[in-house]
Structure 1
Amino acid sequence: MELSAASGGAALLGGTAAQAAPRPAGGPPPLGPVVIGPADPRYVELTTRGHNGRFTGSPDVVHLVGSAEQVVRAVEEAARDRKRIAVRSGGHCFEGFVDDPAVRVLVDVSEMAAVSHDPERELFAVESGATLGRVYRTLYLGWGVTLPGGGCPTVGVGGHVAGGGYGALSRRYGLVVDHLYGVEVVVVDRSGRARIVEATRDSTGAERELWWAHTGGGGGTFGVVTRYLFRSPGASGAPGGLLPRPPAAVRSVSLGWQWQDLDREAFVRLLRVHGDWHRRHAGVDSPYAELSSGLTLGHRASGRITVDAALDASRPRAGELLDAFVAELTGAVAAPYTVTAATTPWLKSVLGGVQWPGGARFKSKSTLLRTPWNDRQAGVLHTYLNRGGEEFATAGVYLTFLGGRINTVRPDATAMPHRDCLFSVVHEALWGEERQTEGQLAWVRGLYRELHADTGGVPVPDEANGGAYLNYPDTDLADPRWNTSGVPWSTLYHRGNHRRLQRAKERWDPLDLFHHALSVRPPERFSSRRPGRGPTLGPH
């Protein structure tokens, strides 16, 4: 459905129904348009907002937008002037897609952050500049509902949702995109004309494919999302029944071991027992079907290895279940450990989540595991996590339990195809000074390559690996120096959904105006190898 300037709209928190309009009737006018160039003192604030200090952009202009109509104008100008364009929401992109030197026009949607309920359409509308923390707080305090998204409250929904979105409630409720009813997105036709289109789960034809492409196809590819519309499949009626309800409180445990108390054999045995336990309890029929669990393998310089797990505190025998979990893991090795337990109100638990150290340099690499690490891989982890000194104190490997409801959805029902995985793994180096870059990159790249030595240095989908998660982009996967598997990066991220995404790209961005190093490209411009070699953007 194409929207005019008078369409769309919702009701404010606690308010009454509004007429179809870009904002609730009687509300304040939107910010902007604000157009900022390099001479403006605000320019530095907006061009250094990205969280990865390895990359800093220098666009000719920044459009700080307050409405979808302002996005239309900014996009049309970029298309007319044949200038590379990028969009920023929360600023947490792992790679330099937004801060690419080739980007000349930056659209910043961070001030478009409204979260509202539309009683007429029975859905929730979330503007693409809202952070996860704002979304969780407003949805929960306003209506008692939430989305099963990630644990960093400063991440923007703009990119998080487009890549699939998972978090502590995903084993219970699935991915964020499993609750995505629609998207409002600014697209550009072959003539360079921009327009606002709403595509939903109930759309047909090309518009439904546009909705589907935003259920895991990634950001920066098809257009500029200005608003997401959420309603769980089959839900209707009162707002409290339209989206998942989180627990009132969570019962959590945190286990810890000191590196000095674990030799190589004990480390490998701990990972073996940890992996086997989670494999046995991955399904929806397990008493642990709703458990959230994470393993943090900090570098030896950080001192610790930790396991954190949580259940709904109101669940019968929640404490007993967590005690049994602790007993099995601690019984794996004869080493001292610490354990703490707590019961925390749900909202406090999510708003107190990981706060990303913006401005630091980092390199992250993703693996989706269908089975636990084998003993050879555990040995590789032990070697690298004990290699080097204090300069690697902030390096580590982070493993998150998947399965549950995530894996009850068909791989082609959404664009996010990884519906058969047990764990999501992030391998990360994080550092402060430019002089450390070469050594830090060598460490994380070497670790990753050796973990996947049997499959060309990357997690080729097979019995053990599912591929990689698009929201943790890694341009190394498109570089033959680091990916020697012969399997293109698009297969690692999209598996069998890539060609369908390409068809959506051809239909909705025929000029290939929106692209970056790992975006879906039209077939004639797609390269399975080194990224960033595409032609200049703009009308042909």
Structure 2
Amino acid sequence: MHLSFTLLVLLSAFTTSVVAWAPLSSLQGRANNTFVNCLEQAGLDPVLQDEASYAANSSAYNLRFNYKPAAIVYPNNSTQVAAAVKCGAASGVKVNARGGGHSYAAFALGGEDGHLTVSLDRLRHLSLNGSTVTIGGGNRLGDVALYLWNNGKRALAHGTCPYVGIGGHAGQGGFGIPSRAWGLLADQITSIEIVTAAGDILTASSGSLSTGPNESSNPDLFWAAMGAGASFGIITQFTAETHEAVDSIAFQYAYANYTAEEASSGLLAWQKFASDPDTPLDANVGMQLHVSPDASTPHGIAFSVSGSYYGADVSKLNATMAPLLSALGNPTTTTIQTQDWITSVLYYAGAQNGSSALNTTTAAPDIHDHFYATSTFVSEQEPLGKASADALMQYFYGPGTKSAVEWFVIFDLYGGSKSAIRGRDADFNAFDARDALYSIQYYGTIPSSVSDQDGIKFIQGIKAALEQNQSNTTFKEYVNYIDSTYSAEVAHQKYYPTHTSRLTDLKNKYDANRVFHYPYDF
């Protein structure tokens, strides 16, 4: 199910003159093409549709999409990134950055045909000065984690997939298991180097940081880029304040015998434990709840609570989790493992025996999937009610056990009164869900035996079971789990409900001609 992308109508609202965007068909071949010539003269060697390598270079992470960029370039530095942006702007070709390329809706390829994709794969420099790290915009999370570990045992809070690019991740928030202690990845960024729509290379920071004589803090641009980065430029470099890479205790409590009723009670117990004002949960606890089909269980569903307790020992973990375990009952299996930082990173990356190196992000190809995903934020002010929990579990234990869609649902804890995410002001940056208690990611791999329409309908049914039984609640969503079925208006309501107006004003300031553009752009 693909969107009808109609954002071009927004351009009529602006008085600034707009370059006419060139159709894809006018950009084929290299001869007598000013756009292609511009890229070549900048030393960018564009990959075009008439080349054998084009299919591999333009392949989306989500195989539901097969967008065809006008060209793909691989700049070596920020100067070449700026040159690429200028070529696109001068020729009326819309521009998008690609870091890891993990956009669930393939927006790094433009979200439609005919864009210029600026791939940052060659911008992978890393350096550490004390506790401050400088990160090239093309680095993957695995690159960063391994470098920081090997150079002083430092760390950042970020997501678990080592192939995910830092640009899209930090540029739209960037949640990780340690985020309750340290904040989102965007919160740990102190400054960025960013190429604007004009082709300028700017430094942007919060405005409270000292800058050199040739730098500009551009605090409004920094605010927008840390939460809605894809709309405001191409971030070629990040500077972040790292943390000591602490040891942790990984835990998992599995409940293979739960009925739907027990699973509903378990979810509500988990929610209460996470937000109990009388016994606030330590910020060093990162915690998830997982639900997925499992034919080996009595009722066809696997239910588990897992996470890491950073800087703690087993006795502290046991004491902290005791109230939750009392409410959940006796687990079918319990896993407790003491881990140093890099073992923990590998554990969440799927290399649970620690045997796989994180540097495979440069040595081996990423996997691709044919899937649909969406999300829900449950706020601390409006926690999930029993009717919603019951309906959700009835869907899991009913249609969920029969569907050919390979689905899973993850509840990621964000909040609690001690959480660093919640502790920052609601307008700290463009990320617009500081009130979230937890996020829910609904994900389904759609096999060839199921149509995309039916697979999407099944996953949307999970979400509807929860949201439609929670009366008078407006749910936000996490932009890094972007839903490919929305209109721009709905996307803004879901991802930036209180920040859309400000983001639109800043878009008009920094990119009035919409050089950087994707279907949910401002």
- What's the TM-score bracket when you normalise by the shorter of the two chains? 0.7 to 0.9
CA displacement at 1:393 relative to structure 2: 5.8
Q: Is the 8 A contact 1:293 1:400 kept in 2?
A: yes
Q: Please tell me whether residue 452 in structure 1 is matched to residue 467 in structure 2.
A: yes
Q: Is the 8 A contact 1:401 1:423 kept in 2?
A: yes
1:328 corresponds, among 321, 326, 329, to 326
The DSSP-based 3-state class of the residue aligned with 2:207 is: coil
1:40 corresponds, among 36, 39, 51, to 51
User: Could you tell me how far apart the structure 1 residues matched to 2:75 and 2:339 are?
Assistant: 37
Q: Is the 8 A contact 1:368 1:425 kept in 2?
A: yes
* Alpha-carbon displacement from aligned partner over 1:371-404 (angstroms, at most 9, x marks no partner): 4422211222223213155654621211011121
In structure 2, relative to structure 1, the CA distance for the partners of 1:448 and 1:327 (3 Å cut) is closer
* Alpha-carbon displacement from aligned partner over 1:101-142 (angstroms, at most 9, x marks no partner): 3333111112211111357xx842111110111111112221
CA displacement at 1:425 relative to structure 2: 0.7
Q: Which amino acid aligns with 1:129?
A: G
Equivalent in the alignment of 2:339: 344
Q: Please tell me whether residue 402 in structure 1 is matched to residue 414 in structure 2.
A: yes
CA displacement at 1:55 relative to structure 2: 1.0
1:211 corresponds, among 211, 222, 238, to 222
Q: Is the 8 A contact 2:284 2:311 kept in 1?
A: no
CA displacement at 1:459 relative to structure 2: 6.3
Equivalent in the alignment of 1:292: 286
Equivalent in the alignment of 1:279: 275
CA displacement at 1:203 relative to structure 2: 6.8
Q: Which amino acid aligns with 1:200?
A: S
Could you list the runs of 5+ residues in structure 1 that have no partner in the other structure? 1-30, 232-242, 480-486, 522-540
Q: Is the 8 A contact 2:409 2:442 kept in 1?
A: yes
CA displacement at 1:327 relative to structure 2: 2.8
Matches of residues 16-55 of structure 1 in structure 2 within 5 Å? 33-48=44-59, 50-55=60-65
Q: Please tell me whether residue 187 in structure 1 is matched to residue 186 in structure 2.
A: no
The DSSP-based 3-state class of the residue aligned with 1:351 is: helix
Q: Is the 8 A contact 1:459 1:492 kept in 2?
A: no
In structure 2, relative to structure 1, the CA distance for the partners of 1:154 and 1:322 (3 Å cut) is farther
- Number of residues paired by the alignment? 450
1:107 corresponds, among 105, 118, 123, to 118
The DSSP-based 3-state class of the residue aligned with 1:422 is: strand
Q: Which amino acid aligns with 1:245?
A: E
Equivalent in the alignment of 1:506: 508
The DSSP-based 3-state class of the residue aligned with 1:441 is: helix
In structure 2, relative to structure 1, the CA distance for the partners of 1:326 and 1:393 (3 Å cut) is farther
Q: Which amino acid aligns with 1:338?
A: T
The DSSP-based 3-state class of the residue aligned with 1:495 is: coil
User: Could you tell me how far apart the structure 2 residues matched to 1:147 and 1:118 are?
Assistant: 15
Equivalent in the alignment of 1:134: 143
The DSSP-based 3-state class of the residue aligned with 1:427 is: strand
Equivalent in the alignment of 1:440: 455
Matches of residues 2-13 of structure 1 in structure 2 within 5 Å? none
Calculate the TM-score normalised by the size of structure 2: 0.79
* Alpha-carbon displacement from aligned partner over 1:202-242 (angstroms, at most 9, x marks no partner): 2799811001111212x3201111111223xxxxxxxxxxx
CA displacement at 1:362 relative to structure 2: 1.2
CA displacement at 1:492 relative to structure 2: 2.3
CA displacement at 1:417 relative to structure 2: 2.5
CA displacement at 1:176 relative to structure 2: 1.5
User: Could you tell me how far apart the structure 1 residues matched to 2:373 and 2:151 are?
Assistant: 35
The DSSP-based 3-state class of the residue aligned with 1:471 is: helix
In structure 2, relative to structure 1, the CA distance for the partners of 1:293 and 1:203 (3 Å cut) is closer
CA displacement at 1:454 relative to structure 2: 5.4
Q: Please tell me whether residue 93 in structure 1 is matched to residue 91 in structure 2.
A: no
User: Could you tell me how far apart the structure 2 residues matched to 1:265 and 1:432 are?
Assistant: 30
CA RMSD of aligned residues (A): 2.8
User: Could you tell me how far apart the structure 2 residues matched to 1:391 and 1:278 are?
Assistant: 31
Equivalent in the alignment of 1:163: 172
CA displacement at 1:84 relative to structure 2: 2.3
The DSSP-based 3-state class of the residue aligned with 1:184 is: strand
User: Could you tell me how far apart the structure 1 residues matched to 2:347 and 2:469 are?
Assistant: 39
CA displacement at 1:313 relative to structure 2: 4.8
* Alpha-carbon displacement from aligned partner over 1:477-505 (angstroms, at most 9, x marks no partner): 438xxxxxxx8432321132222212211
Q: Which amino acid aligns with 2:289?
A: L
Equivalent in the alignment of 2:26: none
Could you list the runs of 5+ residues in structure 2 that have no partner in the other structure? 1-41, 210-215, 351-364
Q: Please tell me whether residue 253 in structure 1 is matched to residue 233 in structure 2.
A: no
Q: Which amino acid aligns with 1:348?
A: T
CA displacement at 1:447 relative to structure 2: 2.1
Equivalent in the alignment of 2:22: none
Q: Please tell me whether residue 65 in structure 1 is matched to residue 75 in structure 2.
A: yes
Equivalent in the alignment of 1:537: none
Calculate the TM-score normalised by the size of structure 1: 0.77
CA displacement at 1:409 relative to structure 2: 0.6
User: Could you tell me how far apart the structure 2 residues matched to 1:70 and 1:490 are?
Assistant: 32
Q: Is the 8 A contact 1:399 1:423 kept in 2?
A: yes
2:206 corresponds, among 201, 205, 218, to 201
In structure 2, relative to structure 1, the CA distance for the partners of 1:182 and 1:65 (3 Å cut) is same
Q: Is the 8 A contact 2:273 2:324 kept in 1?
A: no
Q: Is the 8 A contact 2:137 2:237 kept in 1?
A: yes
